[in-house]
Every structure is written in C-alpha cells, then in structure tokens.
Amino acid sequence: MSIPTITLNDGNTIPQFGLGVFLMPPAETQQHVEFALANGYRHIDTAAIYGNEKEVGAAIAASGVPRDELFVTTKLWNDRQTDAEAAIAESLEKLGLDYVNLYLIHWPTPKFDTYVQAWHGLEKIRAEGLSRSIGVSNFHEQHLRRVIAESDVVPAVNQIEVHPSLAQFELVAVNDELGIATEAWSPLGRKADLDDDVIVRIAEKLGRTPAQVILRWHIQRGLIVFPKASSPERLKENSDIFDFELDADDVLAIDGLDAGYRVGSDPESMNNR
C-alpha cells in the first residue's frame, strides 16, 4: 500500500490515511493497532480522553516499525486547556514516546474561553520538540481567526467532523484559505452514510465497498482520514483505496448528499470537561 502524504504549513508531512481509535476499548486496542501497523498503516489518531494511549504505545513498541516512519497524533482534553504542558507529559508517558507528531486542542469549548491560552501552551510544546506539529480540532472560523490573531503559529491542521452527509464545504474552504490542512473525523459518519443509495450504487458500479467509496471521496478532496475499524477485514478494506478513482460525476453525486447532518457534537455548544 502506498499512502500519499500531505505537506503541512510547518513543512512536516502527514500520511493522508491512518487509523482512529475513538471508542476502541483499551483491552482490544493493542491488537487492532498492531494488526494495522503490520498491514501498512503508519498514522494513528488517539486522544487523552479515549483512554487507550497506553495500549496504542504498547502496539507501537511491539510493532518494530521505526519511530521516524510513524505519525502519531494525540489531543489535549478540555479540562487541561490551562495546563497543556503537564497534559502532554502524561500522554507521552502513556504512549511511551519522546514526542508525538501532532498535538491538537480537542475542542474549543467556547464557554470557558481558554482555547487561546491552550494554544500558547501548544506553541511552547512545539518549541520544546514534544510535538513536531500542533493544531486544533472542532474549531470554527471565528476560533481559528482569533488564535491566529493572538499568536505566532498558524495551526497546522483543523480536525473536524466531515462525511458525505456533513460535507463542510465552507469550513474546509476557510481552512484552505488560512493554509490549514483539514482532517475529517468520523469519515464514514460512524456508518450512517454507508447505506445511502447513491453510495451503494457507485460502489456496485466500481466493484468496491461503500466504505471504500466514501474514503476515496475524502482522499480526492485532499482531506486526511483515519477511519476506526476493529476487525482485520475492515482494517484491510479501508486501506485498500489507492488503486481506483471516482470520476467527476461520482464526486458530484456524493457532494450532493450534504445535509448538514452531524453524528457528533456541535463545537459551539460542546463544553463538556
């Protein structure tokens, strides 16, 4: 499998495809991540709140894949926005790593108004080499513009919910304008988009699966994806998307499924800690 890379605004590169481990029970995580790494995955997306950083780290250690071939992301949880340096130290300890490739502010949690302070913490973390790149997640345009106006570093990525029924054309255009790469979380809409008639028809026409068609749509948009899967078959199926293309009509038909439908929280009202 040859996974394309995207060059971030800080010059670092990120594999455009990887594995997400949200809702992967810790008892199963090492096995799935090890299987993924043995089968060509090189990019793992976790977070402090997922509770499985330790098992991700165990899989990385057991895999034998050289550290410089891996791209590891973790995220600062909402209750640590004023305490980012201590929070990343805990994540690195659990992961068994000296640095991560990407550290993200998980949510802006606007009610608490501490995301700019959190960003200053991430700037220090990058300067200290504890994360090679820094970015944000679930940020809307006003959050992005404020962070950029009040700091010296433009986020390298904005990780947002994107799938065919929530295509996010406007926010992706804002990210593009600001030089921020878009990562698409819940790229399959947590399965919600797999049964859609348009997706199923294109999959049948191409002899592919609905998941492969949706992942290919993201890749052709230039987005970064890391679907979560927990069986060897699905892990292989999801990564087998680099030897076919959707044509312009297929892309237009999938673009037309946008319905503003969220499977996750709205960043404006998500203030959980």
Ligand X SMILES: NC(=O)c1ccc[n+]([C@@H]2O[C@H](COP(=O)([O-])OP(=O)(O)OC[C@H]3O[C@@H](n4cnc5c(N)ncnc54)[C@H](OP(=O)(O)O)[C@@H]3O)[C@@H](O)[C@H]2O)c1
Q: Annotated active-site positions, please?
A: 50
Number of residues that bind ligand X (CB under 6 A): 28
8-state DSSP, 92: H
Side-chain-side CA neighbours of residue 50 (13 Å)? 27
Give the chain's end-to-end CA distance (angstroms, integer). Answer: 39
The whole-angstrom separation of Cα 190 and Cα 106 is 19
Instruction: Out of 53, 81, 189, 213, point to the residue binding ligand X (CB under 6 A).
Output: 189
Residue whose CB is less far from ligand X, 61 or 192: 192
CB atoms within 10 A of CB 17: 25
Under rule CB under 6 A, residue 135 binds ligand X: no
Under rule CB under 6 A, residue 186 binds ligand X: yes
CB of 179 to ligand X, least distance (A): 20
**148: helix, coil or strand?**
helix
Under rule CB under 6 A, residue 20 binds ligand X: yes
Instruction: Out of 185, 217, 221, 254, point to the residue binding ligand X (CB under 6 A).
Output: 185
Under rule CB under 6 A, residue 39 binds ligand X: no
Under rule CB under 6 A, residue 29 binds ligand X: no
The whole-angstrom separation of Cα 85 and Cα 243 is 42
Under rule CB under 6 A, residue 103 binds ligand X: no
Calculate the dihedral angle through the C-alpha atoms of 238, 262, 147, 21, rounding to the nearest 10 degrees.
-40
The whole-angstrom separation of Cα 115 and Cα 147 is 8
Instruction: Out of 138, 168, 175, 182, point to the residue binding ligand X (CB under 6 A).
Output: 138
What are the beta bridge partners of residue 225?
17, 184
Only segment of 34-42, 76-84, 120-128, 222-230 that touches ligand X (CB under 6 A): 222-230
Residue whose CB is less far from ligand X, 128 or 204: 204
The whole-angstrom separation of Cα 87 and Cα 115 is 14
Residues of this chain, 242-271, that bind ligand X according to CB under 6 A: 264
Residue whose CB is less far from ligand X, 63 or 137: 137
Under rule CB under 6 A, residue 227 binds ligand X: yes
Residues of this chain, 155-184, that bind ligand X according to CB under 6 A: 159
Amino acid symbol at 216? R
Q: Quick one: which of 146, 167, 159, 147 has its CA closest to 221?
A: 167
The whole-angstrom separation of Cα 135 and Cα 10 is 11
- State the binding string over 73-92 for ligand X (x if CB under 6 A, else -): --------------------
Query: Which residues would be at the binding site for ligand X (CB under 6 A)?
Result: 20-22, 45, 106, 137-138, 159, 185-191, 194, 209, 211, 226-231, 234, 237-238, 264
